[in-house]
């Protein structure tokens, strides 16, 4: 599921759509076979990416299931993928309008938690800086991005993927 979603980023749009469909199906099967935090996390990531390719109405009707999967991932193990369930939960809360569950303060809390657990995970810092820029201003965001720039070169296979 993770590899298929990553492949979707590198291919033309129609291939991305096809890869994301396969990734969502794989994540759904993973939830059925082993309903753990990793399965719920990758379902939430892949389905959110898929909804981005399907337009506004699909997003309106599909975002609830993504949010539930992200919440279940946090509930089961917020530490999967270096705070992944917290990241997806936070970014959903950040990007969604209020009537679809958006809540910028919740987003900030999720990304601050992920960053406190995994301060050297670049995605946590990147996403936290995006939220900080909106809520706390550019100085807070730049300070967080500076921390990211000071991280050592990555050799962790999880980060490399």
Residues 109-129 have a mean pLDDT of 96
Alpha carbons 13 and 152: distance in angstroms, whole number: 33
Cα–Cα–Cα angle for 144, 150, 155, rounded to 5 degrees: 115
Structure tokens at 103: 């809540």
CB 5 within 8 A of CB 22: no
Closest CA to 111 of 129, 138, 81, 90: 90
Cα–Cα–Cα angle for 156, 83, 116, rounded to 5 degrees: 100
* Mean pLDDT value across the chain: 90
List for the chain the helix, strand, coil content (%; round to 5): 80, 0, 20
Structure tokens at 132: 């900080």
- Tens of pLDDT, residue by residue over 54-108, are 988 998 999 999 999 999 999 999 999 999 999 999 999 999 999 888 999 999 9
pLDDT given for residue 12 in this prediction: 73
């Amino acid at each position: 599921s993770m590899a298929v979603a990553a492949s979707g980023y590198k291919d033309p749009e129609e291939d991305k759509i096809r890869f994301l469909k396969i990734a969502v199906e794989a994540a759904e099967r993973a939830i059925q076979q082993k309903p753990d935090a990793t399965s719920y996390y990758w379902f939430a990531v892949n389905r959110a990416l898929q909804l981005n390719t399907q337009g506004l109405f699909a997003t309106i009707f599909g975002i609830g299931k993504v949010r539930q999967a992200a919440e279940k991932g946090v509930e089961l193990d917020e530490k999967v993928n270096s705070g992944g369930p917290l990241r997806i939960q936070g970014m959903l809360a950040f990007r969604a309008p209020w009537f679809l569950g958006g809540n910028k303060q919740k987003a900030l809390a999720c990304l601050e938690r992920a960053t406190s657990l995994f301060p050297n995970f670049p995605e946590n810092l990147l996403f936290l800086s995006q939220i900080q820029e909106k809520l706390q201003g550019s100085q807070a965001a730049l300070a967080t991005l500076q921390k990211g720039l000071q991280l050592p070169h990555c050799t962790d296979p999880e980060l490399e993927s």
